Structures are given as structure tokens and as C-alpha cells.
Amino acid sequence: MKNSIKEEKESVTILFAGDSGDGIQLTGSEFTNTAAAYGNDISTFPNFPAEIRAPQGTLAGVSGFQLHFGSVELFTPGDNCDVLVVMNAAALKANLKQLKPNGTIIANTDGFDSKNLRLSKYPEGVNPLTDHSLDKFKLIQLDITKLNRECLKESGLGTKDMDRSKNMFVLGLIYWMYNRELDKTINFLKEKFKKSPELIDANVKTLKSGFHYGETSEVFTSNYEVKAAQLPAGNYRNIMGNQATAIGLIAAAQKSGLELFYGSYPITPASDILHELSKHKNFNIKTFQAEDEIAAICSAIGASFGGSFGVTASSGPGIALKGEALGLALMLELPLLVINVQRGGPSTGLPTKTEQADLFQALYGRNGESPLPVIAASSPSDCFEAVFEACRISIEHMIPVIFLSDGYIANGAEPWKFPQTKDIKAIVPPFIDASDVDKENFKPYKRDEKLSRPWAIPGTKGLEHRIGGLEKENETGNISYDPDNHEFMVKLREEKVQRIANYIPLQKIDSGNDSGKLLVIGWGSTYGAIKTAVHELKNEGIEVSHLHLRYLNPLPKNLEQLLNNFENILIPEMNNGQLLQILRAAYLKDAKGLNKIKGLPFTVDEIKVKIREMLNTNE
């Protein structure tokens, strides 16, 4: 065995790319789990093609999984990668611009035959592996298909089945490069192929030979050590955003003692919440795949009327369909949670790409004057706490709440210092104590200091009442077309939302000083990129602060005061400046926007450049 040199690295970004049939997502998530369990901090960014099975070998069919792992705290999947693993020519072409100068390319030469080159639109006769165009990188060429077939030649499997496991060869190789153990993945394979032992054998064998190949071949001169990260003490697991959202919902149901009813209609990237919840029916959860988004929200309203906690989720186009029912829920003043896992563009837009352009839709996308609380999560693990907060507000204030996530955090993963049940605070549903009311004069819309009404559910004797979407007289809930009453009710509903500000924490600065030259304000999934940019600049001695909003309506009470402490405000958003307009209108502040509308998250660099520009600091 050759003695390789061990090098230590603070953090590494690997981008796995290949055809959508190459098992890229699985390879990436296995490496993620292994790195996370080892104690690295991680951040991932899966990037799917829009078509389920785009034509093989084409640029449209490239699937990618970017993974950033390190011995330091990480908040983004990395702007550029150190290692680019490409299974074919299209994967190289689509991702080469992501590779750092001097970065390593591991290329499967079998994916660079004339057909693959043609499909990925390289000019006739050009092969990037041989034309020296990659000379500034470390290029490692392996015929992975052949190596893999060689190692499985006695397995008895057909060529097709053999080829399917070649991603494990790559994974084994990368495990060797970064000194990782194989056991997590071996256990995973045993579980996954429980029903076909021959596939367990083949995949495990391939994984191991990839590892051994790294060890014995001369292709790598060194392997790398990325030590465990110094994260705050505690118990950790790896979590994706949609999963954290689902678990947050279950926790809210348990902590409020309510049965969870989840009515939903499949849509990317929200469907995984439905999939996850459907697995946990033993938590007394009812999941309902409705015939459309309208039925989904309406079924959730019906469930809440009956005394359960109704939840529905969708993405932008589906939320558009739910608009009318959301207005009804607002008039009924029942608890209801509406989750929007945002994706790109109007109409069907960019279904597999991320954006945060539904903030206006969440705030204003209904007829009449119809304010609702809006809460946004900032990272995969933050989905848990943020959705729990959204549930708490909805239930305790008897009001529908909109929870915003997006494709980037929904599918991304990071380590999560998960809480214990006993440390999660209870949610108190305002059920009415029937023995305590004057039944003759029961008023379904009588309000408390939160301006919220009591929850009297069918089956409660003596409190029979009717509710509906027509304008109602305050307290009695009787239909009223009285002009003064309507104006009063519109203002009352607005005030009810605003009063929620008394029941949420004051806004804190996330990093940096409480006052200064420049404050960067973010909301949602731009968190990691902004935080990293601000950190890096601060390390260079540049004064800049970061504030991240979780509560978008109502805004925290001290926000205006915080803004007044800064000379300039920058708001990076993956939209055309929605929060920017809101804050400008609310506080008459001349904030500046940094807008990226490409279906892609911000890179740290993009934010740094803008901050520098605003502070006039040259590199």
C-alpha cells in the first residue's frame, strides 16, 4: 500500500453531478449523513432537473448535489466547489463554472464518448478531457463504469443492474479521499435493499472497491482530514427543511393536545411534507390527499371547525388557488396553518428552482382587506422552530397563519441541535369552558385581550352557532351589512394581527453591532449567505451588521428603532425587492435592494461585493 499524504482542511465543498438516473442525490445524501455523524458541520444544496427523466446525457438532464462540510460552522453549501465529480460530459459542462481554480475534477471517462459529447453540445471533435482546456484543474480520469463492472463480474448481475451501482464506487472513492468510514452507508444499503440480498452484496462490494481503489491506486497523492466542527454542545442530527417542518407540525400538535389534520395536494417542492407526515399516523395525524388545492385548504378549515388543527401546504401556484378559502378562514377566525414552500416564477414558473417572490402574495394576495400573520424560516433546521411558532400564533390567536419556506431550505440539509419534548413550551388552545358561559347569550365572536375569539366546537351542548364568510357584527357574529360595522370590523381584524406583536420576541441583531454604518436585513433562506458574508467581512475588520426577520407580519415592535441606528440598509432578496418595499413603506427608510432572480440562492461573494460597494471599501 502506498503511503498517501494527509492534509488538513477547514472545509470542503463537493459537487456531485451526473445524469438524473445516476443516483446523484443518493450519493450526496449518503456522504452528508456520514459527514454529519462524524461531527462536521454541513450544508447541502440539491439541484434537480425539471423533468423526471430528461433525455440521458443532455444538459437538461443534469442532476447535482452540492455539499459543504467542515470543522467550522457553515451556513451555506458553498459558493464554489473544491471537488467536482462528473459522471458524464453534460455534468461537466453544466457545472464547471462552479469549480474553484485548482479544484479537482473526477471524471467518469465512459460518460465522454462521442455520443455524450454530442448530446452535451461540445463542438464536433472537441473532448474537454483531452484538449487541455482543463489544465488549470486537477483532472482525474477514471472509467468508473468499467472499474465497477470489473469488480462485479462474478456477481451474476446483468450489465444494467451492475451499472446502476456505479455511484457507490464514486462514493467509496470520496470516502477514502476524506477519510470517512463506510459503515453508515453499508447499514443504509442493507436496509434499502432488504428484499434483494444480491443488491446489498453488489452495492457494498462496489462501495468498498471504490474505497480500496483510492487507497491502492496512484491517482491521488493525498487524502484530506476535515475535523469535527466545534458546534455548541448538545445532541445533533442531520435534517432537511421539509422534514423539520413536518416534525415541527407534529410537535405543535402534541404540545397543544390537538389532533393534526393535514390536507394537501401534491406540488414541488412541498410534497415531501405530506410524505413525511403520512409516515407518522401513530401520532394521531390524519393526512388527506385532496383533489386540488382548494379542497385541501377547505378540508383543513373543516377540520379546524371541528376542533382539530387544520394545516395545508403548497407552493405559489397552489397558494393562489387557496386564496378565497384563506379569506374565509380569516373571517371565521379559526386556527389554520398555510405553508408555502416557494419556488420560482409566476404561473408554473421554475418548479424545481428556488425563489422568495411570494411575500407579497402572502401579505396581500386576497380580496378585501385581509391581513394575516406571516412567518418565514431561515434555514433547514430553523423550519422546526419557525413552523412551531406559526402554529402557536395560529392556535392561541384563533387566526390563519402563513408560513413561508422555499425550495432551497426545503431540500437542503444541515445538522440540527434538536430539542427535547420537555423543553418545548406548550400551546394553549382557547377552547371554551362550556360550564362557564351564559348559554342564552353566547357570543361566538366575543373577544379577549388578544382580540381573539373563543373556540366552541360542534358537539358542545348549548353553544350551537353559525359562522360564515359574510361580514359579521362584532361579538354576535350575525350577518351585518351596516357600513360602519364593516369599517369597524376591517380595522378590528387588522388590529388583531398587529396585537400579535405583543406576543412575539423583540427583534435582535443576528451579528454585528447594534448600530453603525450598514445593516443588512434578510428574511427566509438568504440567512446563510448573508451571515457568512457579514462574518467574513467582519473578520477583515469591516463594520457591518446583520438582522434577519422571522416575523414578517406583524413586524417586531422594536424594528423601526433598530433601523434608525444605522446609516444605510441593504436588503438582499431572491425577488425583485418585496421586503424592500414593505420596509420602505412602513418606516420611510431609503433602504437599498440586492436582488437575484435566477432561481438560485445567493452566493456569499455576491453579497460581499454589494456590501463593499455600499461601504466604499476596496479589496
Partner 1 sequence: MNNTSENIKEKQLSAKDFATDQDVRWCPGCGDYSILKQVQSILPEIGVKREDVVFISGIGCSSRFPYYMNTYGMHSIHGRATAIASGLKATRPDLSVWIITGDGDALSIGGNHFIHLLRRNFNVNILLFNNEIYGLTKGQYSPTSPKGQITKSTPMGSLDHPFNPLAVSLGAEGTFIARSMDRDPKHLREILLRANNHKGTSLVEIYQNCNVFNDGAFEVFTEKGTKADETIFIEQAQPLIFGQNKDKGIKLDGFKPVVVNLNQESANDLWVHDETDRVKAAMLVRFFSDQTQTERLPRPFGVFYREERYSYEEALAAQTMDALNKKGKGDLDSLLAGKNTWSIR
Per CB under 8 A, contacts with partner 1 among 313-372 are: 324-325, 327-328, 332
Task: Select the residue interacting with partner 1 from 137, 193, 224, 305 (CB under 8 A).
Answer: 305
Neighbours of 17 (CB within 10 A): 27
**Region binding partner 1 by CB under 8 A among candidate stretches 10-18, 159-167, 419-427, 578-586:** 419-427
**Region binding partner 1 by CB under 8 A among candidate stretches 127-135, 413-421, 521-529, 549-557:** 413-421
**Amino acid (1-letter code) at residue 594:** L
> C-beta of 11: minimal distance to partner 1 in Å?
17
> C-beta of 202: minimal distance to partner 1 in Å?
24
**Region binding partner 1 by CB under 8 A among candidate stretches 131-139, 199-207, 454-462, 532-540:** 454-462
DSSP 8-state code for residue 525: G
> C-beta of 408: minimal distance to partner 1 in Å?
22
Task: Select the residue interacting with partner 1 from 144, 301, 387, 401 (CB under 8 A).
Answer: 301
Window 172 to 191, contacts with partner 1 (CB under 8 A)? 184
* 194 is an interface residue for partner 1 by CB under 8 A: no
Cα–Cα distance between 497 and 492 in angstroms, integer? 9
User: Which region, left, alpha or beta, applies to residue 401 given φ > 0 means left and ψ of -120 to 50 means alpha?
Assistant: beta
Cα–Cα distance between 129 and 135 in angstroms, integer? 9
* 459 is an interface residue for partner 1 by CB under 8 A: yes
Angle between the 316-332 and 293-305 helix axes, to the nearest 10 degrees?
30
Size (the chain), residues: 619
Window 228 to 267, contacts with partner 1 (CB under 8 A)? 228, 230-239, 247, 250-251, 254, 259, 261, 263
**Amino acid (1-letter code) at residue 33:** N
Burial 211-247 (b: 16+ CB within 10 A, else e): bebbeeeeebeebbebeebeeeeeebebbbbbbbbbb
The continuous run of DSSP H or E covering 263 comes out as strand 260-264
> C-beta of 299: minimal distance to partner 1 in Å?
3
CB 477 within 8 A of CB 445: yes
Task: Select the residue interacting with partner 1 from 469, 505, 540, 567 (CB under 8 A).
Answer: 469
> C-beta of 439: minimal distance to partner 1 in Å?
11
> C-beta of 256: minimal distance to partner 1 in Å?
12
Cα–Cα distance between 186 and 203 in angstroms, integer? 8
Give the pairing type, strands 41-47 and 62-70.
antiparallel
Please give the biggest Cα pair distance in the chain: 89
The continuous run of DSSP H or E covering 546 comes out as strand 545-549
DSSP 8-state code for residue 445: B
Nearer to partner 1, 302 or 577 (CB): 302
Task: Select the residue interacting with partner 1 from 26, 96, 200, 463 (CB under 8 A).
Answer: 463
Query: Cell 471517462, residue?
Result: 109
Task: Select the residue interacting with partner 1 from 198, 225, 464, 487 (CB under 8 A).
Answer: 464
Nearer to partner 1, 265 or 551 (CB): 265
Binding to partner 1 by CB under 8 A, coded x per residue (else -) over 4-33, reads -----------------------------x
Taking the mean position of all CA atoms in its chain, how far away is CA 111?
A: 32
Joined together, the cell numbers standing for residue 248 give: 415541527
Cα–Cα distance between 80 and 12 in angstroms, integer? 10
Window 271 to 300, contacts with partner 1 (CB under 8 A)? 280-286, 288, 290-292, 294-295, 298-300
Window 32 to 91, contacts with partner 1 (CB under 8 A)? 33, 36-39
Cα–Cα distance between 162 and 164 in angstroms, integer? 5
Window 421 to 440, contacts with partner 1 (CB under 8 A)? 421
Nearer to partner 1, 330 or 518 (CB): 330
CB 273 within 8 A of CB 246: yes
Window 137 to 156, contacts with partner 1 (CB under 8 A)? none
> C-beta of 366: minimal distance to partner 1 in Å?
12
Window 597 to 616, contacts with partner 1 (CB under 8 A)? none
Window 534 to 593, contacts with partner 1 (CB under 8 A)? none
